[in-house]
Amino acid sequence: MRLSVFVFFVFLCPLAIFAQSETMKKDSFPNYGSESKTSGFFRERFQHNDLVNYLDNLNEFVTYQSETTGSFNTPDQLIFSISGSSYKWNKYYLDGFRIDNRFLPGSNFYQPDLFNHSLKIDYYHSTLSFNTDNIIPNSLGLRYNIGGLGGISPLTEEMVNLYHLTASQRIYPGHPFEYRA
């Protein structure tokens, strides 16, 4: 019995620990804890320059919180978790200069255009580092906001009312009521 215990601890236990550590290195995080994407990736392959779109739809180690759908939450604070850490631990760097908001931990003041900046995510330290490209190709970007649905845009209220009646229009004729039970 003592010989089998001795053989296990001397020969098999170190082998099992070594095999487990090699498996953990391969399976835990990509590139041993960090991932880098060049601006060329965002321009030519992903074809979208928005950080939120990349984190929410493509990065599997980031959990992004969105309050609503249809980009109605765009003005809200950027909240996401890097590899399960709290969003308040997120740190942002632009060319080595820290750009996070000190009043609201985990948020940043500025989201760089990913067509002109490369992105490095460090999964161990919850950091996003943006580096400006030396050569930025000629490009033109346009954005247009037509307002909220049912807001300033012409005919949107009528379009919504084709499918959904307002609260005052849902009152049954002949049975007015002030509140719902």
Please give the pLDDT value at position 122: 93
Give the DSSP letter of residue 172.
P
78-69-59 Cα angle (round to 5): 55
Please give the pLDDT value at position 65: 78
Within a 10 A sphere around the Cβ of 137, how many other Cβ atoms? 10
CA distances from 30 to 41, 92, 121, 122 (A): 17, 20, 11, 10
Strand order in the sheet with 97-98: 34-37, 117-122, 127-132, 91-94, 97-98
Please give the pLDDT value at position 95: 93
Please give the pLDDT value at position 158: 74
* Among 122, 157, 160, 137, residue whose Cα is nearest residue 37: 122
Please give the pLDDT value at position 163: 75
Please give the pLDDT value at position 74: 58
Q: Round to whole Å and give the CA distance between 115 and 48.
A: 8
The stretches in the chain having pLDDT less than 50 are 23-26, 29, 150
